[in-house]
Chains A and B, each alone.
Chain A
C-alpha cells in the first residue's frame, strides 16, 4: 500500500495549510524543521490510528518512526504487515 498519498496530504493540509507537494520534502525532518511539534506528533498519530485502524504503542512513539514522510510510510508498512 502506498501510504504517501494519505500521509503527505494530511501533513501539508494540517500543518502547512497548502496542497502544494513541493512545500515538503519527503525526507525532511518534520520536527527539526519546525513543521510538527510534540502536540502535532500526537495529532498525526491520532490521524494514523483512525485512518488505518491501528494502535501506536508508547515505545513506538519515537522520532525514528515519525520524523519524515518517508519514515512514517516505512513505519506503517511494518506495522500493517505485522
Chain B
C-alpha cells in the first residue's frame, strides 16, 4: 500500500478497540490452551508490572480465576513494592497466588558472586552495601551501543565507569540466572497442575529481543506480544486493574539500583519507542518520526537504525534450536 505524506502519524495510530481486543485475546487463549497445548489452566509469573498484570487479567477472562495461578518470585534486588503490587493484583483478580523467594537458589548457583566479581573488575571498591545498575548509550546518537556501570556507595556517592565487554557479558550472564530460575519455578507449577506457562512480553520487548532466552523468553503462549506498550497500559486501564499497577513505571527490577527500561535497553521512553517501532514497521521515513516526536531528523534516523540493529543482534534469541538435518514432525506414528 502506498502511503501519502499526509497520512496520520501521531499517538492515535496506536488506538485500539480494547473491549474487542480483550475478547479476541481471551478467545485465543482459550482455544490455544484447550486445543493446541492441551492443558487445564495457565501459570502467570506476576511481577507487579503492567505486562504480567495484563496477561493475568486476560488469562482470567479466558479461563476464569479458578484456572489461573499467579506466582510472585522475588529475589534480593527486586523491590518490595513490586511484590506488594503483585499480591494486590492477585487479590483483585481472585486468583490463587504462591510467593517463592528465589534468592537462596540464586545464591547457591553463584549468581550474585559471579555478578559482583565482574562489577569489581570495573569498580574495585564495590562491596556489600553498594547498589548498581547498567546503562546503555550511543544508539540514539548513531553510535554503536556501549555499556556503563552506575554505582552508589553506602554514603550516597555516585560512581560511573565504562564497562569492558567481558565484564558486561559476565554481569548480564549472571543476572540472566534470575529469569531462568524464575522460569524453572513456573514450569514446576505448570507441570504439577498440568497448566501452560504464559509469557508476558509486549510487542516492543518481543520485537527488540528484550528478554532472556530460556528465561522470560520461554513460554507456551504469549498473549500480548502483538500489543505496543502504550496499548498494554490502555488495556490494563480498560480491564479495571488497580491504579497502582496502571501507574507503575516500567523498570527492569533486576539490578540493585533502580533502572528504567529505557536507560538499560530502549533508546527512548516506551511511548516514544512504540511510535518509533510503528514507523519502522510501516516504512515511514525518519522525517515523519522526527515530526511526531519533536526530534531532529538525525536523531529519529538513529533511533530507527537502532531498532534495526537490535533486531539483528537479538535474532538468535527467537531461533529454535537449529536442526542441521531436520525431519518433518509426524502427527501419527506409522503402524
Contacts and interface: CB of A to CB of B under 8 A. Distances in A.
A53 interface: no
A81 interface: no
Contact of A39 (B138, B141, B143, B169): B169
A34 B314 CA distance: 11
B144 interface: yes
Contacts of B143: 58-59, 61-62
Contacts of A62: 142-144
Contact of B165 (A42, A63, A66): A42
B164 interface: yes
Q: How large is the interface on B (under 10, 10 to 19, 20 to 34, 35 or more residues)?
A: 10 to 19
Contacts of B138: 58, 61
B312 A42 contact: no
Interface string B129-169: 00000000110011111100000000000000000110001
Given A42-B144, A61-B138, A61-B146, A31 B309 contact: yes
Nearest to A64: B142
Interface in A34-79: 34, 37-39, 41-43, 46, 58-59, 61-63, 66
Contacts of A41: 144
B175 to A, nearest CB: 16
Contacts of A43: 165
A59 B312 CA distance: 22
A43 B164 CA distance: 9
A31 B164 contact: no
Contact of A37 (B137, B142, B312): B312
A34 B220 CA distance: 29
B313 interface: yes
A34 B142 contact: no
A21 B255 CA distance: 44
B222 to A, nearest CB: 24
B36 to A, nearest CB: 32
Interface string B255-277: 00000000000000000000000
B137 to A, nearest CB: 8
B165 A31 contact: no
A58 B142 contact: no
Contact of A46 (B141, B144, B145, B165): B165
Contact of B313 (A37, A46, A63): A37
A82 to B, nearest CB: 19
Nearest to A45: B144
B146 A42 contact: yes
B145 to A, nearest CB: 5
Contact of A66 (B141, B144, B313): B144
Contacts of B142: 62-63
Contacts of B144: 38, 41-42, 61-63, 66
Given A46-B165, A58-B138, 7 more contacts: A31-B312, A37-B312, A42-B146, A59-B141, A59-B143, A62-B144, A66-B144
List of 8 A-B pairs having minimum Cβ-Cβ separation, nearest first: A37-B313, A61-B144, A42-B165, A61-B143, A41-B144, A38-B313, A62-B143, A38-B145
19 contacts: A37-B309, A37-B312, A38-B144, A39-B165, A39-B169, A41-B144, A43-B165, A46-B164, A46-B165, A58-B137, A58-B143, A61-B138, A61-B144, A61-B146, A62-B142, A62-B143, A63-B142, A63-B144, A66-B144
